[in-house]
Each structure stands twice: as C-alpha cells, then as structure tokens.
Structure 1
Amino acid sequence: MKTTTIKTGSVAEFMEEGRMIARLIDQQLPLPELSSISFEDPEDLLVLLRADNLALFRALKQQPDSLSGIAARLQRDPDTVRHDVDELARLGIVSIAQGTIQLTAQKFKLEADLI
C-alpha cells in the first residue's frame, strides 16, 4: 500500500530526504513505497486541508471519477473543482489519466510541526 506523508519541514530536511533516496538508488536497493510532500510554512499546509479539498479526497477515495462526475457528486461548480484538482495534481496528490481523476496513494499521513 503506497503511503504519502504530507508534512511541514525545512529545506534542509527536504534535501536530506533526497540524499537518502539517492543513497538507496546508488546502492541499488529498493525504494520505499512511500513519498512525501513538504510545506515549509504550516499556513500553506492548512490551505491544502480546507473543507472543499477534504471532501474531494473523500470522494476520490470512495471512487475515482471524471471531473464532471466529481462535481456532480460534491454538488460543486465544475470550474472550481477543476481548479482544486489541478492544484492537487501539481502537488502529486491526484493523477488524471484518460479523463479519470484518482488519488496517487491509498493512504495519506499528516505530520505537522507548528512551531
């Protein structure tokens, strides 16, 4: 089961994680079935966690769907849903293939240091 961790972290922590992955590649070891998305500012993380996005996560977990299907299920404007989906795709949280939007991981884990 692929897990994506969404977290706060410094640039130095992000770089260290990249070096760890590079070492695994250099040693020809398998890469872990996990990925992470880091936000340096906790406020940026909170934007991701707004109610509309959480409803979108739940809808996609229940069933991947087309943009119009998701908008209808959520009773939201398709243009607004497209904006949210585009942002989540940019972050690597959703993927779009052949008109179907789906989550990129089966599990999302949240970690945040607020101070």
Structure 2
Amino acid sequence: MREKEHQAEREDSAPDELREMMTEREVLDTTRLSRSALHRLEKKDGQLRACVVYIAPNTKRFWRDLVIRWQKVLAEKDHRNPNRGRGPGRRPRAVGEAVKAEA
C-alpha cells in the first residue's frame, strides 16, 4: 500500500525536481517532539513510517513533503478520546478506614 502512495507521489512531482530530505534533528526541531516520541510514532504510525528513508547504515532521513503532510493530518485529527481507560482505578476502601478518617 505504501509503495502505491510513493509511486503516485513520484508521478505528481516533476521528474527534474528533487525532493528535499530532513535529518532527524530537523524533524525534531520542526515537530517539537522528543527523540523517544518520534521513534515510538515511527514504529506505530504508518504515515510517519512512509516518511523514513535509510540512506546508509544508521543514517535515516525523512521526506520533507511527507513530514509536512503528516503534521497536517495530525492537526486535523482529534486524538482525544474521553472514553479511554484510565488505569486500574483506586482500590476500594475498607469500612473501618472510612470511620477512622471521619473521627
């Protein structure tokens, strides 16, 4: 699926036009994310994974146009879910503890 998206993007851009790439530091400065948050999103989020290109061992770059598109999608999407789970909750209080606390 990602390959089809890349082919469509290549066809949209002019053949003589070079696409700009960003280093990880530039992406971090642009998005204001931490390195661990960027890494976590890179592993989890399919759109950000499509932005990454490994040009050499331990050297990765991000397509600038895809990072910008990813940011726009994140801005449009509402990530807040008021019905999400919030942990296991508190343990039930014993009846004797409630009486002692009131006294």
TM superposition score normalised by structure 1: 0.29
Higher RCO (CA 8 Å, separation ≥ 6 residues): 1
Higher relative strand content: 1
TM superposition score normalised by structure 2: 0.32
